[in-house]
Chain A
Amino acid sequence: MLEAFWLGLTSVLSWPAFGLLLLGTFIGFWIGLLPGIGGLTTLAILLPFTFGMAPVNALALLIAVHAVNGTTGDITSILFGVPGEASAAATILDGHPMAKNGEAGRALGAALMSSMFGAVVGASALALSVPVVRPLVLTFTAAELFALIVLGLTFIASLTGTSWSKGLLMAGLGLAFSMVGMDPHSSIPRYTLGEPYLWEGVPLAPVAIGLFAIPEITDLAVRGTSIASPVANVSTGVLEGIKDTFRYWGVTLRCSLIGTFIGIIPGLGGSVAQWIAYAHAVQSAKDKSRFGKGDVRGVLGPGAANNSKDGGDIIPTVAFGVPGSASMAILLSGFLIIGLVPGSAMLTKHLHVTFSMVWTLVIANILTVSCCLLFLNKLAGLSRVRGSILIPFILFLAFIGAYTANNNMADLLVMAIFGVLGYAMVLLEWPRPPLILGLVLGPLAENYLYIAVGAFGASFLLRPLVVMILLLAVALLFYAVRQRARGRIGEDD
């Protein structure tokens, strides 16, 4: 295995693989930064170009794009409250308030450094776990996955926001919204109001932008100032953020591991990782009062998890042909094109190719973060610009972000509706993360429940791992209730 480890590294550093890695990093950088053109679309567009390339070269390009657009997606989340990628929504919760407090530079530094940290930790964990990955993935059947989703939802619902009961209610609402669309089992349309547009369900990108970005934009307009309120000192810079990553190394490390684990287990989807990491950052902090108002740990967690999950995602895709996320699904079709077949061969005979993917992730991230650090302080200065100049620009970003996901005008309507909902939720102190998580996880939960009951009958609930996971969920709920009773969790969303 060590051999494959080094062979992977040298193949990535050789030409033309390295050149393609640089190209991919460059492309991914801009794609992640600009909301709208998503990593997904870019990968699909690049795919045909990889025909005929040697596997390591093609993967260097594709994985570099994939790796980097998660990293730069945090930038617009922090500065403007508009998620650059759907996976950067959690960063808005504390990252944008930090910008409002004049700590934009610090937030940016923290997000980027933790991203790099996450990528490295994720890659290492991955390399070490190759021998145990197969048994690990095979242990988690649909029953355990269902339990994990219940755990994840409970975790997030109870820890974010002002009240655990509101959190659970919002999670339930999210689950209800997720039912809209064609029933995956018999293709019967549910709550689609007779519109084929809704057959695939409520689209995620417009909802994320509506729920999180629109309230921020509205708030900016209402305040009438620049993003950073005039009294705040913008110069708390990037260096501070970098130091934070190591100052709170515990949170950063644990969230990296969480991201890797979520990536490895196929079927949880990538966007869950950022929320679970955020909730963990809240839960593990002694002083929780600043979360939602600009606690740097709320940026470190999602930042690390987002990148470590990219590493984790690779494993189920490569070893089982089950894509860990939508981007991985596209990469999977890329495999077919470059002549690789996912399966245990990728963990044995072709292990160096798998490792080359991991190395690409790490190197592309290191390159990106190093480049970003050079001009981050200037970027942070944008938060000093007058709101009346910035708002049209930010609104434009938001609209593009919502529209280009599916090239459908109806998405803008969805964004507007959820924007109003999001603003109301902020005013009335109802937490938003459980809502969006319910929306994302609902279809998965339904599917796994269906399969679990079909395969094991009602006794799927008695499977040992399922019992353990569900008990953990209950325990977490009690813990959260107790913490709130003692006034230890913050007052604001």
Chain B
Amino acid sequence: MRKVFYFVIALAFVVLLSASPGVAADAPFYQGKTLTLIVGYPPGGGYGGYAVLISRHLAKHIPGNPTIVVQYMPGGGSMVAANHLFNRATPDGLTIGTVAMGQMFASQIAKSEGVRFDLAQWKFIGNAAVNTEILITRSDSPYATLEALKKAKQPARIGYLAKGDNHHMFGVVIEEALGIRFNSIFGYRGGGEADLGLERGELDGRTVNLNTYLIQHPDWIQRGFVKILVQGGVPDENGKTIRDPTIPNIPLILELSSSPKVKKLHDFTALGTTIGRLYVAPPKTPDDKVEILRKAFLAALKDPELKAEAEKLKIDITPMGAKQVEAVLKDALAADQETVEFFKKIKE
């Protein structure tokens, strides 16, 4: 009898406990939940750095103050993460990710094998930074000036991470603008390794993000180890490309060639560089959750505390909302067939 009594008490307890969440039915969705932020690169890189910074300030702008966990899923220039977010992640508003817009765009347009997503269906959350790409070469190499690069007999060895990522595309447009070919070497697993390759003499140059370069290599700058030859530029308020004010003396790619083909290629690849730190949610994520996330994202990026930390870490923040991202994407998707064919060939 006693056993039955205890059993009934336990049962009642369990029933009461399981009933209580129902009572709190109008608590915000994110309360008590964990939001996972997937990063398409290994920890220690630019995407990881931004993700950790944002994850520290995003929760308080989301009603319900969820716990935010950063998860790293490197591979394929963020394509593994992109595929995961598109197909495997549960679209319940509890998983978002940061992936490389340029890489995804180029792969999709070229219909590369391994692409399992469709840019048109993503729910964009926003963009955190606008990149300027630059081409750097070792000062002691035979490629230390644009002239030398153009006239060189042997192609310069330029190192890249993944085929088709931002950095690679930038390099390709330079090749077209100058009418030369690089000896392109792929496979470096991160910026750090590629930089090491440059220092070791495996490479003559690299295409990098200006901000990353300024933060990570003050000693290179100090001893003049490399020269900056070309920049991609930044968009001004009207969307026109101008020289980045940090490096006003470096020419734009667009200034190197007046060919309309180069202009088209540049516009096509500008998508990847303009949208430097993209944040997305899986395609079937409900619209109401997406709205919450979009608002929170912009609020977090404008949060003075985040800005102060970003300042300290020298991380550049340029908030861009989802609508803006969609607009830029639309322009790029309107590229003509010739440009698309060109980049398809590049990816092979």
Contact = CB atoms under 8 A, between A and B. Distances in A.
B324 interface: no
Interface stretch (A184-192, A219-227, A232-240, A420-428): A184-192
Interface in A129-146: 137-142
A196 B87 contact: yes
A202 B216 CA distance: 33
Contact of A329 (B43, B112, B199): B43
B169 interface: no
Interface string B174-202: 00000000011111111111011101111
Contacts of B162: 184-185, 187
Nearest to A343: B219
Interface in A157-211: 182, 184-189, 196, 199-200
A321 B113 contact: no
Contacts of A447: 187, 189
Given A187-B77, A343-B217, A455-B157, A336 B114 contact: no
A323 interface: yes
Given A48-B56, A48-B70, A332-B44, A182 B76 contact: yes
A454 B185 contact: yes
B264 interface: no
Contacts of B159: 451
Contact of A199 (B43, B80, B202): B80
B50 to A, nearest CB: 10
Interface SS of A by simple majority: helix
A322 B192 contact: yes
B70 to A, nearest CB: 7
Contacts of B113: 186-189
B64 interface: no
B347 A333 contact: no
- Sorting the interface of chain A by its residue count into under 10, 10 to 19, 20 to 34 or 35 or more gives 35 or more
B52 interface: yes
A344 interface: yes
B83 A344 contact: no
B207 interface: no
A332 B192 CA distance: 10
A141 B186 contact: no
A449 to B, nearest CB: 9
Contact of B44 (A137, A196, A329): A329
Interface string B210-233: 000001111100000000000000
Given A139-B200, A331-B44, 7 more contacts: A44-B71, A138-B200, A333-B52, A336-B52, A343-B216, A454-B184, A455-B157
26 contacts: A44-B71, A48-B52, A51-B56, A138-B196, A138-B199, A141-B197, A141-B202, A184-B189, A187-B162, A187-B163, A196-B116, A267-B193, A321-B44, A321-B195, A323-B42, A323-B192, A329-B43, A336-B48, A341-B215, A451-B159, A452-B202, A454-B183, A454-B184, A454-B185, A455-B197, A455-B202
